[in-house]
């Protein structure tokens, strides 16, 4: 069912606030960021922002929900592609390519905050579990069809894929967007070698 004009406007405004909050979190850190700074970054009154997100914790919930949607899209892509090895290689490449330096820095910031904030930790654990599940399912499918090596258990291959992705995202946080395309190709090449039967 198509969204009404009001629903589309609400979704647009929510995303604008989430984007503004992400920029503030990257600049100031989640712990030091204030709702006032988020309102200023979003160029909205406090009342408007609080109408959508009554607290920073609610913003974290919103960011996590957005991440879950992206993971659902990735899971669908992995399930729809016949050759699991090619799907996984392409997925890692796209994941790195679609991550800009600001996204990488936000991930690093939220990971650090997870050590202090139980809600942030809970949300990160949930999104990570969803991502791990869809990757593991694709690895197992690839092993069953012969497009992914069986020399290592699927869980080991998952750990290696995760390390490749998180390593490149960590480098993006430091090196910036200029390295994004090069890192995406390197990540895809590394995954292709790791998964080759």
* CATH number where 39 lies: 1.10.10.60
Q: What is the C-alpha separation between 187 and 195, in angstroms, rounded?
A: 12
Segments forming the whole domain that contains residue 98: 57-195
**Same domain as 118, residue 136:** yes
* CATH number where 69 lies: 1.10.357.10
- The reported pLDDT for the residue numbered 2 is 57
Closest CA to 147 of 76, 96, 88: 88
Walk along the chain (197 residues) and give the pLDDT tens digit of each residue. 555 667 888 899 999 999 999 999 999 988 889 999 999 999 999 999 999 999 998 998 898 888 888 899 999 999 998 899 999 999 999 998 889 899 999 988 888 888 888 888 898 899 999 999 999 999 999 999 999 999 999 999 999 999 999 998 888 888 887 778 888 999 999 999 999 99
**Same domain as 145, residue 105:** yes
State the total domains in the chain.
2
**Same domain as 119, residue 145:** yes
**Same domain as 130, residue 88:** yes
Note whether 78 and 140 are within 8 A (CB): no
Q: Quickly list DSSP for 36-102.
A: HHHHHHHT--HHHHHHH-SSHHHHHHHHHHHHHHHHHHHHHHHHH-S-HHHHHHHHHHHHHHT--HH
The predicted model scores a pTM of 0.85
């Amino acid at each position: 069912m198509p969204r009404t004009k009001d629903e589309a406007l609400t979704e647009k405004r929510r995303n604008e606030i989430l984007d503004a909050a992400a920029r503030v979190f990257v600049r100031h850190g989640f712990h030091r960021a204030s709702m006032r700074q988020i309102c200023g970054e979003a160029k909205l009154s406090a009342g408007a922002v609080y109408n959508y997100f009554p607290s920073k914790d609610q913003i974290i919930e919103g960011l996590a929900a957005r991440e879950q949607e992206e993971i659902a899209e990735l899971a669908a892509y992995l399930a729809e592609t016949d050759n699991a090895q090619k799907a996984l290689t392409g997925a890692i490449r796209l994941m790195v390519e679609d991550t800009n330096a600001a996204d990488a820095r936000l991930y690093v910031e939220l990971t650090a905050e997870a050590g202090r904030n139980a809600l942030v930790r809970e949300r990160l654990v949930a999104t990570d579990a969803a991502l791990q599940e869809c990757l593991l399912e694709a690895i197992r499918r690839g092993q069953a069809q012969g497009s992914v090596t069986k020399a290592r258990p699927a869980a080991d291959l998952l750990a290696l894929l995760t390390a490749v992705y998180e390593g490149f995202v960590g480098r993006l946080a430091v090196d910036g967007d200029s390295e994004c395309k090069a890192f995406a190709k390197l990540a895809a090449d590394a995954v292709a070698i790791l998964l080759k039967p």
